[in-house]
């Protein structure tokens, strides 16, 4: 069973992002970039499926600039067998990525696509769902447990009220939640091995996809600065303030 895993290169989660002075977006110049954390979980899950003998080949896919190759090498150091870079300098939105993944899903004949539930830069939480719709395949989003057997995946999902377990027939689309697994550390020998693994490059045109953005960002603002708190003398004073000033009681 071939598994396709998507990995997005995003601003590292430890970086405090700065909004560009013209408010057109976030400044990414000289900023540390890493694999989207939910995608690390996706690669780890695929590798565990291979270790269990369920998956036979793991193909990591990243869409974007040439620098995404670094993210793909990391995916291969975790354990992906090969990688595909869909190279473009067009700003990619979830619909375009979903179309590109769908084309690769068909081309590769994958039985399972594992994506992160959301990218921590755009926080869209859309690509997996759009891919399932475009490919007309079942989806199991926000997975915290995945078991694959007999052409089916049993997936436990994190929902508002607790956990929901569903079964989908393969091929299917799964998106990962935080508690699905803890990705392994990438070791130096595996980084060296990853350098020798196959990395193919295609363009959106090769896949017959027009990646042009459909949405326009009007402006991006910094969150407003938080005001300093005040210390109150006792519970009575706190209740009085909540009632008269905050007006929440």
| Residue ranges in contact with ligand AMP by CB under 6 A | 6-8, 36, 38-39, 61-64, 92, 94, 97, 115-116, 118-119, 122, 124-128
Nearest residue by C-beta to ligand AMP?
116
Instruction: Specify the residue, 111 or 127, whose C-beta has the smaller distance to ligand AMP.
Output: 127
d(CA 85, CA 57): 17
How many residues are present in the chain? 249
Cβ 237 to ligand AMP shortest distance, Å: 44
Instruction: Specify the residue, 7 or 202, whose C-beta has the smaller distance to ligand AMP.
Output: 7
* In 173-248, alpha helices (H): 188-195, 235-244
d(CA 143, CA 127): 15
Cβ 114 to ligand AMP shortest distance, Å: 8
Instruction: Specify the residue, 15 or 241, whose C-beta has the smaller distance to ligand AMP.
Output: 15
d(CA 28, CA 115): 23
DSSP 25: S
d(CA 200, CA 148): 28
Instruction: Specify the residue, 8 or 99, whose C-beta has the smaller distance to ligand AMP.
Output: 8
Cβ 209 to ligand AMP shortest distance, Å: 12
């Amino acid at each position: 069973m071939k598994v396709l895993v998507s990995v997005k290169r995003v601003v590292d989660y430890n970086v405090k992002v700065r909004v560009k002075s013209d408010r057109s977006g976030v400044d990414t110049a000289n900023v540390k970039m890493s694999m989207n954390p939910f995608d690390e979980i996706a690669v780890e899950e695929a590798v565990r499926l291979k270790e269990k003998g369920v998956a036979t080949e793991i193909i990591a896919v990243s869409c974007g600039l040439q620098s995404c190759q670094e993210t793909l090498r990391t995916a291969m150091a975790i354990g992906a067998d090969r990688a595909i870079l869909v190279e473009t300098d067009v700003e990619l939105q979830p619909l375009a990525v979903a179309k590109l993944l769908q084309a690769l899903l068909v081309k590769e004949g994958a039985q399972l696509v594992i994506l992160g539930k959301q990218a921590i830069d755009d926080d869209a939480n859309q690509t997996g769902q759009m891919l399932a719709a475009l490919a007309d395949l079942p989806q199991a989003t926000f997975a915290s447990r995945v078991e694959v057997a007999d052409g089916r995946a049993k997936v436990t999902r994190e929902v508002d009220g607790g956990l929901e377990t569903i079964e989908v027939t393969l091929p299917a689309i799964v998106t990962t939640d935080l508690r699905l697994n803890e990705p392994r550390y990438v070791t130096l020998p595996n980084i060296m091995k990853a350098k020798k693994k196959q990395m193919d490059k295609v363009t959106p045109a090769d896949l017959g996809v027009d990646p042009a953005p459909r949405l326009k960002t009007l402006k991006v603002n910094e969150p407003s600065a938080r005001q300093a708190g005040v210390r109150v003398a006792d519970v009575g004073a706190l209740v009085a303030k909540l009632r008269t000033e905050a007006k929440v009681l």
